[in-house]
Amino acid sequence: MMLEIDNLEVAYGAVRAVKGISLNVAQGKIVTMIGANGAGKSSTLRAISGITRTSGGRIRFDGRDITTMPAHKIVALGISQAPEGRMIFANLTARENLAMGAYLRRDTEGIEKDMDYVFAMFPKLKDRIDQPGGKLSGGEQQMLAIARALLARPRLLLLDEPSLGIAPILVRTIFEKIVEINRELGTTILLVEQNARMALSIADYAYVLETGEVRLHGNAAEIASDDEIRKAYLGER
Amino acid sequence: MKRHRSKIYLLLALVAAAIVAKYQTAISPYYFQIIIYIGINIILASSLNLINGFAGQFSLGHAGFMALGAYTSAVITSSLHLSPGTAVSYPLFAGALICGGLVASVFGLLVGIPSLRLKGDYLAITTLGLGEIIRVIIQSLGFLGAARGFTGIAKLADFFWVYAVVAIVIFTIANLVKSTYGKGFLAVRDDEIAAEAVGVDATRYKIVAFITGAFFAGIAGGLYAHFVTYINPSQFGFLRSFEIVVMVVVGGMGNIAGVILAAAVLTILPEALRAVAQYRMVIYAFLLIVIMISRPQGLFGQRLDWSRVWRWVTRRSSSPAKGES
């Protein structure tokens, strides 16, 4: 297993957001975590990245314990994240945002190549390359956030709510690109989504989270056909 | 060639400072003093700009660092009995300034550590407190002259010294923040979590900003002490810190050229307003309020965008009747 999470707990003061989640991500797969607001999806991702402190449990990447490792070292190991709400550097241009994504890399040529790759993937970004990140539209910022995370050349890409707050027509494009990243670059993806239907349509494996615990997990296709899940998350009767 | 351009600028600036220094006696002492104060304020504002403007850590303790540099270097030059005019004094003076800078940067580290846990106004209050603590401690130390002040400092700083340091500070900070490494400061300021998420060690950046900023503030303090030849703790109070913050805010946080201009303008302004005697601080305050209302991002914003300045100028001259839009 590339990523192994064992009994993870995250608490904000007295509020326990994650109450013992165990989860595995196999190399080369797209794995999704779905669930309602407050289910603990984002907290789990942030704990993996080292942005949020854990209060219990273990996180292992390639067999190595990264539970208490600082965020910048985790990036160096090959995990990068496009965080929820995009978190674009508003005063840096789109190009500088991308350059920050490659902050830990020293291979100038490789970075140039990857820049060209993300511009081919998101041609809209190329038009806005010298604009400050804060001036981009929501959809463009989301593309920028994903592109920035890709520039770290991660082996595991964490995506937090990539469909949040962007035009429905763009949601489809972004999900197509996520599949493309997985197929073409071989990047393993852990995707957090509220848009369960979309997430399940592209994922190999899925975890359903409810109030900080894993309620159900299985192949994405099985989860998508589960009666209860269809009622609760896919809006079917 | 392009890589060495900034080094060539630095060299030119140092030579220019040396040449102007030759003729410094030709300027009237009053104007000369203002010119020196401008230089010292540029050093202070530029070094605070690194902490406040680039790294985004709101610090109100800059006068404390300045005091440490001033007292440390004054103690060293006084105990060595340095005097202006003797050749051996100047290298030792440079050493004393650097010692002052180092002592200040040690305290910069101490002040920087709370910034790892505190943000915004909380950090501002903490740094303000630490700055005041430095001042009060100096005030209680007899061998530093306590509240009476430290007298008889050799007048070793002149135009060359001040403006050579100005050139070095601008060179250092401009190179630091323009490099790929330096973009990390801006990333930390814009979004600390996102910065961490792309691999920027935010902790290290904040500490580097505080240490470097405090170092140059300490040097500015040393230059000040060796220009006015008399220092006392009240010169390094909260108001001094506040004046420096105003220069950074008015110039535009993280705008190197803007902050230099603001430091110059805000040093000259109170002097220029001496003609109106008792109203001058009222007018000064009023002008600050007007600037902050009309240009909250600072006079020049975050980047001095010359193409926009050019468009503004050409639009005005081509359609003078329309006025400002």
CATH of residue A228's domain is 3.40.50.300
Residue B308 has a pLDDT of 61
User: What average pLDDT does this structure show over B241-263?
Assistant: 89
Question: In angstroms, rounded to a whole number, what is the distance separating the alpha carbons of residues A156 and B183?
Answer: 25
DSSP state for residue A160 in the 8-state scheme: E
How far apart, in whole angstroms, are the C-alpha atoms of residue B292 and residue B1? 41
Identity of the residue in A51, A81, A92 whose CB atom sits nearest the CB atom of B190: A92
Q: Any idea what DSSP says for residue A88?
A: -
| Assigned token pair, B246 | 């105003």
pLDDT of A86 > 90? The answer is no
DSSP state of A184: I
Between B121 and B323, residue with greater pLDDT: B121
Question: Alpha carbon of A26 to those of A60, A213, A216, B265, B279: distances in Å?
Answer: 12, 20, 18, 62, 73
Instruction: Identify the pLDDT of residue A69.
Output: 92
Please indicate whether, in this complex, the C-beta atoms of B199 and A49 are within 8 angstroms of each other: no
Give every strand in the sheet of A213-219, ordered side by side: A79-82, A156-160, A188-193, A30-34, A205-210, A213-219
Average pLDDT of the residues of chain B: 85
Q: What total number of domains does chain A contain?
A: 1
Q: Which residues of B touch A83 (CB under 8 A)?
A: 193-194, 197
Predicted pLDDT at B307: 61
Please report the residues numbered 129 through 148 in chain A whose beta carbons come closer than 8 angstroms to any beta carbon of chain B.
148
Closest CA in chain B for residue A133: B190
Q: Using CA atoms, how far apart are residues B250 and B49, in angstroms rounded to an integer? A: 11
With a CB cutoff of 8 Å and minimum separation 6, the contacts of B6 are B171, B174, B175
Mean pLDDT (whole number) for A129-158: 92
A50 contacts in B (CB within 8 Å)?
Answer: 196
- Note the ipTM here: 0.82
Chain B CB contacts of A90 under 8 Å are 190-191
Is residue B116 within 8 angstroms of chain A, CB to CB?
A: no
Say if B198 is an interface residue toward chain A (CB within 8 Å): yes
pLDDT at B323: 40
Contact: A99, B190; criterion CB under 8 Å: no
Task: State the pLDDT confidence band at A98, using cuts at 50, 70 and 90.
Answer: very high
Containing B312, the helix (H) or strand (E) segment is: helix B306-318
Euclidean distance between CA atoms A104 and A75, whole angstroms? 8
Report residue A230's pLDDT band, with 50, 70 and 90 as the boundaries. confident
Average pLDDT rounded to a whole number, residues B52-76: 93
Asked if the model's pLDDT at residue A236 lies above 80, the reply is no
In degrees, rounded to 5, the angle at the alpha carbon of residue A137 between the alpha carbons of residues A136 and A142 is: 90
Cβ atoms of A93 and A140 within 8 Å: the answer is: no
Q: What is the domain range of residue A206?
A: 3-233
pTM: 0.82
Average pLDDT over residues B22-48: 88
User: What pLDDT is attached to residue B183?
Assistant: 86
pLDDT at residue B40 in the model: 96
pLDDT of residue B320: 47
Q: Using an 8 Å Cβ cutoff, are B138 and B71 in contact? A: yes
Q: How far is A16 from chain B (nearest CA, A)?
A: 21
Mean of the pLDDT values across residues B178-183?
82
pLDDT at position B119, please? Answer: 78
B101, B215 in Cβ contact below 8 A? Answer: yes
Query: Contact B129/B136 with Cβ under 8 angstroms?
Result: no
Tokens of A216: 């159900």
Distance CA A207, CA A189 (A): 13
pLDDT of residue A154: 94
Find the distance separating the first CA and the last CA of chain A, reported in whole Å. 36
Percent of chain B clearing pLDDT 70 (strictly above) = 91
Residues 243-262 of B with CB under 8 A from A: 254
Q: What is the pLDDT of residue B317?
A: 61
Of B183, B189, B302, the CB nearest to A100: B183
B188: nearest CA in chain A? A89
Torsions phi, psi for B24 (to 5 deg): -65, -25
Taking CB atoms and an 8 Å cutoff, what residues of chain B touch A100?
183-184, 187, 195, 198, 200
Mutate to test the interface with A, among B198, B255, B305, B307 (most CBs of A within 10 A): B198
